[in-house]
Amino acid sequence: MEPELIEKELISSLSFNDKVEIKQHPELRSQIDKATILGNAHRSKVSIIFYDDSGLKRVDTTIWAAGTKFICLKGGVWIPIDRIQEVKI
């Protein structure tokens, strides 16, 4: 399935309420950590492939911060880590 490309500004209107089991990339945490460094040091964009309640999405943006449950994008937009399939650097 090809992910739907969306703008970062639309993420806050998406729903993450349903219980969804997804197959995450085995190196996802490492991908997030590398992307966060790139976002802060070089303002580099990455592709984040994730699921909301309606299906697979992709956003091309920078990751500013990463916690244990969420990543924070530029502009204070949050995505739950358990919904992220992969981060392409």
- For 58-70, the pLDDT digits (tens) are 999 999 999 999 9
**Which pLDDT value is given to residue 43?**
87
| Single pTM value for the model | 0.95
Pairing between strand 63-66 and 70-73?
antiparallel
- For 13-28, the pLDDT digits (tens) are 999 999 989 999 999 9
* CA 43 – CA 64 distance, rounded (Å): 9
Q: Which domains does the chain have, with CATH numbers?
A: 4-88 (2.30.30)
Tokens representing residue 39 in the block: 């976002």
Comparing C-alpha atoms, which of 65, 23, 31, 69 is closest to residue 48? 31
- For 68-85, the pLDDT digits (tens) are 999 999 889 999 999 999
